[in-house]
Chains A and B, each alone.
Chain A
Amino acid sequence: MINDLKDFSNPKKYNSLPSIKDQDIDVLKNMLSTMLLIRKTEQQLALGRKDGLIGGPVHLGVGQEAIAVGISLNLKKTDRVFGAHRSHSHLLALNPDIYKLFAEVLGKKTGFSKGMGGSMHLFDQSNGFFGSTPIVAGTVPLAVGAAMASKMQNLKDIAVSYIGDGSVEEGVVHESFNLAKVSKAPVLFVIENNLFASHMHISLRQPSDMISRFAVANHIPYKLLDGNDVISIAQNSKEIIDSIRNDKEPAILEVVTYRWYGHVDWREDIDVGVSRSIEDIKNWKARDPIQRLSKSMINSKIWTKDEENELINKIDMKIKNDWEKAMSDPYPSKESILNFVYSED
């Protein structure tokens, strides 16, 4: 495999503190607290799964929080976001309602999808989240269609399609890139390149580790970024999203990152042995997007360790309360098996 990503895929590089010069302090605090909320929420899901309280698979994105948080700063509630199997962060960055996420993952009636979907099928259209589903690449053409529709509807809304490095191995992604380009669909393809598709490292699956090579092939403008630098993602995605909105053209944002847990569920070491090494996981943890931002803010004296501890306590309390509430919520009624198959009226 050709290492076109160069240092982006090296966990020992890109671990410096992000520059926060000229940044709005409230925005910084907001990004930090959303990333922390997502991290701790997913860690709670890991625990719930380990303890057998969650019945179905959970695909956790711990370590990848900066991506959705940076991008969502530049999205509107009327935009059209689509996700896949690892989409908790994509939704929470738009709507941090962790209670509804807990309820959904537990299969409860009060969840985002009324308890009919679970972790892999999330929905929150009023906040711009049109749906996530676990067939790899399944929602990619749907996002293109939602973008084409926005243009027909004379709206300035864009579509966002979150996909992984594995998804480009499905033919439909290439059809979608081409269709988006020739139909000038205002869609942002976000490629979360975490170097793995389940147990298989990208070197076992593709001739190059850089997914944006497909942007070049389709004449789609792209940016390649460190996926663990929330400031850079926020700034760059603002530029890209503005131009998608104004020029009605697709764009690709490739962000290089790493997931701390195994492909599915709570164990870190589940796919170690095929290709993931404990060493890599350790190094990538040092490239932690949350710690990097926090340290940078503390160094600039706009944030303190005490404030951070206070924030963490607040988040822990919220998680505890929301989890308990969701745990005691009812399951969907048995009638819902048939009731939701077709529209009501």
Chain B
Amino acid sequence: MKTKKYDYGTAILSAFEYLLKNYKETFVIGQGLWSPWYVGNSMTDLDKKFGKNRVIDTPVSESATTGAAVGASLTGMKPIVVHPRMDFMLYAMDAIVNQAAKWSHMFGGQAHPGVTIRGIINRGGEQGAQHSQALHAWFAHVPGLRVVMPSTVADARDLLIASVLCKDPVIYIDDRWLYEQEADLAPIKEINLKIQKPQITLEGKDLTIIASGYSSFLVRNASAKLKNLNIYPEIIDVRILNPLNIESIVKSVKKTKKFLVVDPGWISSGFSAELIAKVVENLDINCLKCPPARIALPDAPAPTSRVLEKEYYTSEEDIISATKNLVKE
């Protein structure tokens, strides 16, 4: 089959192009859509190709633009809201949590806000506490929201299309630290978001490592070094955080009997806790050879200075050393 080279950013761009070209009910709204630099290379020239009516750069109004997109989705449109940083999206919480997430249920399944809200994690570079947050766990906590966190180039494209075509409200979270990944992709084939499952990225035997988003990327990189140490982890990329399909993860843990969770958010009450709980609930605890372990961010806002950032964020080395410890036990 003919493939084409993409990076993570241009993969997202190609999903937007596909959607805008093939579905006239889609439109994109958010800040920075007419700017060459606001959202990396993931939206370049969409306004020129599809018109400023369908690719709408907005005033600094996260709350109104998100609410408006929810409203438009109730009329049969398929809007995609873009928040160049997840931190800015907090002004839009009512539209997301009280409105979009509840609409179907509270009206007896008669209406579905099929809106996609893209929140970009954009951290590092001494940007500090309000320009760094990974809040996927908050959204995954809210019934009614589907939460998608692609870590690969293919998923960046295909899960965005699936999110927009899904009838439910979807929070699609991409991470600027993933943008330089490259991959050859086959032509687009639409997939159904509702049946997507966690993906086994690497089969192994010594332990299962479960991760999402940028953490999955780190784990994939660490696995090459682990191989040199004769350690063979089975790696699972969660992809869809809510509703979470735990089956394949449990199956893997039953096989390896040890597991590590790596998450890009804070540790306390974070998504890593949910994963551990769901796994442990679903197997005979005696089958585990040792307690599960997790790596996530310390319970502190992101610091600013580069030396502290280096300390604060998870590294490949952190994953390698946690893995070694688990394997030893």
A-B interface pairs (CB < 8 A), number: 121
Are A57 and B125 in contact, with the CB atoms below 8 A? yes
A115 partner residues in chain B, CB cutoff 8 A: 304-305
The yes or no answer to B285 lying at the interface (CB within 8 A) is no
Are B308 and A274 in contact, with the CB atoms below 8 A? no
Contact with B along A293-318 (1 / 0, CB 8 A): 00000000000000000000000000
A341 partner residues in chain B, CB cutoff 8 A: 299-301
Are A334 and B59 in contact, with the CB atoms below 8 A? no
Main secondary structure of the interface of B (DSSP, over half): loop
Contact with A along B275-304 (1 / 0, CB 8 A): 000000000000000000000001111011
Are B125 and A56 in contact, with the CB atoms below 8 A? yes
Known: A198-B35, A334-B308, A337-B312. A57 touches B127 (CB 8 A): yes
Report the minimal beta-carbon distance from B33 to chain A, rounded to whole angstroms.
Answer: 10
B35 partner residues in chain A, CB cutoff 8 A: 198-200, 271, 274
- Residue on B nearest A109 in the bound complex, by CB: B305
B34 partner residues in chain A, CB cutoff 8 A: 199-200, 274
Bound-state Cα–Cα, A57 to B131, Å: 11
A331 partner residues in chain B, CB cutoff 8 A: 305, 307-308
Q: Number of A residues whose C-beta is below 8 Å from B?
A: 44
Bound-state Cα–Cα, A110 to B26, Å: 51
Contact residues, A221-275 vs B (CB, 8 A):
270-271, 273-274
- Residue on B nearest A118 in the bound complex, by CB: B304
Of A69-77, A94-102, A162-170, A184-192, which binds chain B?
A: A162-170
Bound-state Cα–Cα, A135 to B90, Å: 10
- Residue on B nearest A339 in the bound complex, by CB: B300
Bound-state Cα–Cα, A199 to B299, Å: 35
* CB-contact partner of B128 in A121, A169, A171, A337, under 8 A: A121
B38 partner residues in chain A, CB cutoff 8 A: 198-199
* CB-contact partner of B305 in A206, A332, A340, under 8 A: A332
Are B87 and A167 in contact, with the CB atoms below 8 A? no
The yes or no answer to A2 lying at the interface (CB within 8 A) is no
A206 partner residues in chain B, CB cutoff 8 A: 59
Report the minimal beta-carbon distance from A132 to chain B, rounded to whole angstroms.
Answer: 11
A197 partner residues in chain B, CB cutoff 8 A: 59-60
Are B129 and A336 in contact, with the CB atoms below 8 A? no
A138 partner residues in chain B, CB cutoff 8 A: 130
Are A135 and B60 in contact, with the CB atoms below 8 A? no
Contact with A along B38-58 (1 / 0, CB 8 A): 100000000000000000011
The yes or no answer to B329 lying at the interface (CB within 8 A) is no
Going nearest first, the 9 A-B pairs with the smallest beta carbon separation are A107-B305, A56-B126, A169-B59, A55-B126, A118-B304, A169-B60, A205-B59, A199-B35, A331-B307
Q: List residues of B whose CB falls within 8 A of some A CB.
A: 31-32, 34-38, 57-64, 87-88, 90-91, 125-131, 298-301, 303-308, 311-312
